[in-house]
Amino acid sequence: MDCINKSQEKLHVVFGDVVLGVHGEGFEYLFSYSTGGMESLTVHGREWLYRTPKPTFWRATTDNDRGSKFSFRSAMWMGADLFTRADRIQIQLDGQDVGPFLAPDNNRFCKEQEGESLAVTYVYVTPTVPSTEVEVTYTVKPTGRIQVEVHYHGKQGLPELPVFGMRFIMPTKADGYTYYGLSGETYPDRMAGGIKGQWQVSGLPVTPYLVPQDCGVHMDTDWLTIHRSSTLANESKDGEEFSLRFEKIKDSFAFSCLPYTAEELENATHQEELPPPRRTVVCILGAVRGVGGIDSWGSDVEEPWHISGESDITYSFAIVPSSNQQTDEKR
């Protein structure tokens, strides 16, 4: 691949030894070869990732899940939520495979390559029995917009899923979020009371159930904007708000925005056992199991609201950097 001159209208791509870097006006992204995903998402100097985004399969057990023994039947998805690994990576620049890109093969590239589109695909393998794969493709454009396409491959013999989507853990606790979707907390079988519109939520509320469990899901969402004003950078002055937006591409998505992972909620038997909130955990979901509620001592969720582990699930969304962010942050 030949070296060409820089252009502000194109992406600038650097093939490092352990990461792939891409940058443009106001944004810098890093895709890791070792951690198996996007390692840094920096917009106007502010870092948005604390951990590498990964597919998510588990929700903290609800009282209804516990009563119907659903969590027992589908327990392997909790292991998948924790231990799914990236098996292989494919990189395309302007639709062309770049070929071998790990060291020392990356020495054939000049310091920077240029293009109008960069696609990075991670293929994840689950530790389930039987095992299956999830493909996640990030397509970056010169504006900094990232299109994320997610494909779960169903396989015969796998149990039903609690949820399926992508989990993003952000460095600090968000001030709140704004979204266009259904009002209040909604699930596939709890949508009738939701009113479609634009809604703003202050902080990261967690429903104070006696036993912490899944909560805060919002269905039928067109877009979601996360608002933060704090960073992990000691030299950065907190207080100025900055934001990051998730948008639907074709179909609407579901999401949750909480200060805890599903595992942190799962591990707590009472509210006081939850750790102090430090991060923001955003799950952009392509499939959500219903919550039931017929009773809490045995009745399962009704059939239309189950998620088969044997069927494929495909969905997509976009990550859109905000244009009103001006100051620098280093993670």
Any idea what the CATH number is for the domain that residue 160 is in? 2.70.98.10
Using an 8 Å Cβ cutoff, are 56 and 283 in contact? yes
Q: Is the peptide bond before 130 cis (omega within 30 degrees of 0)?
A: yes
pLDDT at 103 over 90: no
pLDDT at 11 over 60: yes
Q: Is residue 42 a part of any domain in this protein?
A: yes
Q: Give the C-alpha separation, 174 to 330, whole Å.
A: 17
- Type of residue numbered 109: F
Q: Is residue 331 a part of any domain in this protein?
A: no
Q: Is residue 68 a part of any domain in this protein?
A: yes
Domain span at residue 134 reads 11-321
Q: Is 324 exposed, middle or buried (0-12, 13-18, 19+ CB in 10 A)?
A: exposed
Average pLDDT on 121-146 reads 98
User: 309 — phi, psi (to 5°)?
Assistant: -80, -5
Average pLDDT on 280-303 reads 92
Average pLDDT value for the chain: 92
Q: What is the dihedral of CA 155, 156, 162, 163, to 10 degrees?
A: 20
Q: Is residue 6 a part of any domain in this protein?
A: no
Q: What is the pLDDT of residues 31-90, one digit of tens each?
A: 999 999 999 999 999 999 999 999 999 999 999 999 999 999 999 999 999 999 999 999
Q: Is residue 262 a part of any domain in this protein?
A: yes
| pTM tops 0.75, yes or no | yes
Q: Is residue 182 a part of any domain in this protein?
A: yes
Count of the separate structural domains present in the chain: 1
Q: List the one residue out of 197, 174, 173, 172 whose CA is nearest residue 184.
A: 197
Largest CA distance in the chain: 67
Q: Is residue 4 a part of any domain in this protein?
A: no
Query: What is the band of 155 on the pLDDT scale with cuts at 50, 70, 90?
Result: very high
pLDDT at 272 over 70: yes
Query: What is the band of 238 on the pLDDT scale with cuts at 50, 70, 90?
Result: low
Q: Is residue 326 a part of any domain in this protein?
A: no
Vertex 89 angle, CA 252 and 257, to 5°? 35
* Residue bearing tokens 């907190």: 238
Q: Give the C-alpha separation, 289 to 162, whole Å.
A: 5
